[in-house]
Amino acid sequence: MGHENVTEFILLGLFTDENSKVACFVLFLLCYIAILSGNLLVLLTIRGSRLSEQPMYFFLSYLSLMDVCFTSTVAPKLITDLLAQQKTISYNSCMAQMFSAHFFGATEIFILVAMAYDHYAAICRPLHYMVIMNRQVCYVLVMASAMGAFSHSIMQVLIIIGLPFCGPNQIDHYFCDVFPLLKLACTDTRLWVIAIITTTGVLSILTFVALVISYVIILSTLRTCSSEGRRKALFTCSSHITVIFMFFFPLIFTCAPTTDSVGKDKVFALFYTIIAPMFNPLIYTLRNTDMKSAMRKLWGRDKLSEGK
């Protein structure tokens, strides 16, 4: 089997309209700069302050790192291809991009699950919280997230590597992904499409449902809390729920392709590759007093006043 005589693919990109390409180049470049600066600011603020001692911020720093890595596997190629004449990608680079995107994306999903577990422990089991969520448990959850993501990603790559590519090599997408590649294979891939929809799609839906149920339990527990405790917990949970919806909704639609789904897939993919990673730092910092005060201490006015 293997990839027969196809040594490179052509990425058709997001649009075919030539007139909008320069405007989109500027827009996506600014988005990518915002993603890098926003997420790195969150990551460095947590790592450089006492916040890293708290499990919630420990996970949030890894979430920001995954956002940077995930977007960096897709955005640079998308941005440069908008102005390039030849939008080619070698077979090996295509496999590497697909593996990386799935690895960092899946790790992010598992970290979101770990954060939900942390919120559950903090709100529903407050007396045992420090025992349940000790530092060792936090590291185990991050390692388990990475290992789960690795097994998911390597499966996707192994499926594609086993297929013959001998004819058309134009990928109707702006990055290498499983479904657009399955369409190009010189063999009947309907069974693989069904297998991937049932594994990836069902896994995404089950994870999303589990997260929603966990937050229903958490929010119902909040009724017994004091008004101050309830307000703080609601702020924390609402941020997390917003991120979950922004990430999962487009992902679930992408994992359940219909007959004319490629155009929709590209738009939905924009949500979890560009839009969600750009808004995550804003969602987690704008209404979070701990983050804002840590940022001031580390980067801003407090440093200047200490210097005086």
- What pLDDT, on the 0 to 100 scale, is given for residue 103? 96
- Distance, in Å, from the CA atom of 202 to the CA atom of 196, rounded to the nearest integer, reads 9
- What pLDDT, on the 0 to 100 scale, is given for residue 4? 61
The mean per-residue pLDDT over the stretch 61-84 comes to 94
R_g over Cα of the chain: 21
Q: What is the pTM of this model?
A: 0.88
- What pLDDT, on the 0 to 100 scale, is given for residue 278? 92
> Which 8-state DSSP code applies to residue 223?
G
Q: What percent of the chain has pLDDT over 90?
A: 37
CA-based nearest residue to 276, from 21, 122, 74, 120: 74
Mean pLDDT of the chain: 85
- What pLDDT, on the 0 to 100 scale, is given for residue 92? 94
Residue 166 tokens, joined: 């001998």
Per DSSP, the three-state class of 271 is helix
Residue of higher predicted confidence among 256 and 223: 223
- Pair 266, 212: CB distance under 8 Å: no
Task: Report how far Cα 232 is from the mean position of its chain's Cα atoms.
Answer: 26
- Distance, in Å, from the CA atom of 99 to the CA atom of 148, rounded to the nearest integer, reads 13
Q: What are phi and psi of 5, to 5 degrees?
A: -105, 5
Residue 110 tokens, joined: 């598992």
CA-based nearest residue to 281, from 299, 295, 298: 295
Among 5-14, 20-29, 226-235, 255-264, whose mean pLDDT is lowest? 255-264
Q: What percent of the chain has pLDDT over 70?
A: 89
- Pair 179, 193: CB distance under 8 Å: yes
Give tens-digit pLDDT for 94-103. Answer: 999 999 999 9
- What pLDDT, on the 0 to 100 scale, is given for residue 304? 47
- Distance, in Å, from the CA atom of 255 to the CA atom of 231, rounded to the nearest integer, reads 36
Among 21-30, 105-114, 122-131, 286-295, whose mean pLDDT is lowest? 286-295
Give tens-digit pLDDT for 173-219. Answer: 899 999 889 989 888 888 888 888 887 777 788 888 888 888 888 87
